[in-house]
Chain A
């Protein structure tokens, strides 16, 4: 049996929260926005050919696992990451690592997660949580989405770690093994900002970054005509769900990113970043307004309350703002 002294803190985004809580456990104080920003978590992509839950995939963040991997790498933290073929091996390894006194990050599917809010229990395989102890087949879990600490039994945990389908976790577990004493956070911040700026405005591909937002706006204008009102509202709802739910802390991570820029401004002593953090915050509020107005179209089945052209215009404005912000950020030194 082992139960580590683990401080449970909720977070807006599961993976950044897990990264923060794991690093905090190893006495390196870092905030959630900082973990997210150094991990270069912000992104945008709209993939109409890749359907998720019967609608095109919209994403406001990078691939799962990247925030932890990038943040720890840039900070010089040594980590161990494992995936498994055999479920039983994965549980043995988890027990062994917990017994050595390391809390462990786990990627899991949410459909069979017993303590998860029922309204979120869909097949979503990119959730992250921390195991901080076990006792005779019961595992102690800190999940940054949940208000309180929770528990899960051996069978259920094995099952969610081996959920199948897109982004199957394959028992993925990860934890810091060595955190250096004197970490210089500055180069990590700069690299993180550069990476995100490049992702958002530097890649010449129409479906991602600020261009992707414009592309989505263009498609949105045609939804009602091409798909009919009911499907149009479902497609819109899907964009809004990815923007506002499943741990985005609101506005598709734009608030977290703004908070990161504010902290970065202080840490690097570069006041112009503070200006940009305000612009990011205002852009995040625009996203929130977009989702607020858009959600009215999803209320009554198929009845459009706001015209899709109007919503698309909002997106064009947002895309312009984000492009401006990231073009400036790309020049960071």
Chain B
């Protein structure tokens, strides 16, 4: 197997390779002659790849959950939770209810019987109108 050397990773990034150019950050470098140096630069392209990986994975999870909501296995709460990149413990913290209740609310059957106050609170956390929570546009009902 062929492995590249570090020098290649030290080559100057071509701006067209960069995915994210919103802000430049401080990065430290070391080489034997110059010692430790600091540069203000964009995150290098290899590292940008790993940022993108986590966004891609989030998108993929969202798509999977969406399918489960469409076939009625999960409630829209599961979908909107993924959409704002949360997991159950965090959503429970924002809802100020125990985790097991959030998990329960992710079952479609239970979701249909949820009280309006709870629905309103979920909608507020997800920053969407209640109508969109109870009847997401991708369901086309």
A122 with B85, Cβ < 8 A, contacts A255-B28, A255-B30 known: yes
The total of chain A residues at the interface (CB under 8 A) is 57
Give the interface segment out of B36-44, B71-79, B113-121: B36-44
**Interchain CB contact under 8 A, B47 and A111:** no
By secondary structure, the B interface counts as mixed
CB proximity of B111 to chain A, nearest CB, Å: 22
In the bound complex, CA of A146 to CA of B26 (Å): 9
> For B16, what are the chain A residues with a Cβ–Cβ distance below 8 Å?
none
Pair B22/A118 contact, Cβ less than 8 Å: yes
Q: Is the CB of A244 within 8 A of B50?
A: yes
0/1 string, B1-38, CB within 8 A of A gives 1: 10110101100000000011011111111111001101
Binds B, one of A69-77, A160-168, A316-324: A160-168
Q: Is the CB of B55 within 8 A of A119?
A: yes
Say yes or no for B86: interface residue by CB 8 A criterion: yes
| B63 interfacial by beta-carbon distance below 8 Å | no
In-complex Cβ contact of B56 among A238, A301, A307 (8 A): A301
Say how far B123's CB is from chain A's closest CB, in angstroms. 17
In contact, A234 and B23 (Cβ under 8 angstroms): no
Which chain B residues border A122 with CB–CB below 8 Å?
54, 85
Q: With A111-B85, A245-B51 in contact, is A289–B9 under 8 Å at CB? A: yes
Contact (Cβ within 8 A) A240 B50:
yes
A244-B43, A259-B28 given; 17 more Cβ-contact pairs under 8 Å? A11-B26, A53-B87, A165-B86, A238-B54, A244-B50, A249-B26, A250-B29, A255-B28, A255-B36, A281-B31, A281-B36, A282-B30, A285-B6, A292-B9, A292-B46, A296-B46, A298-B53
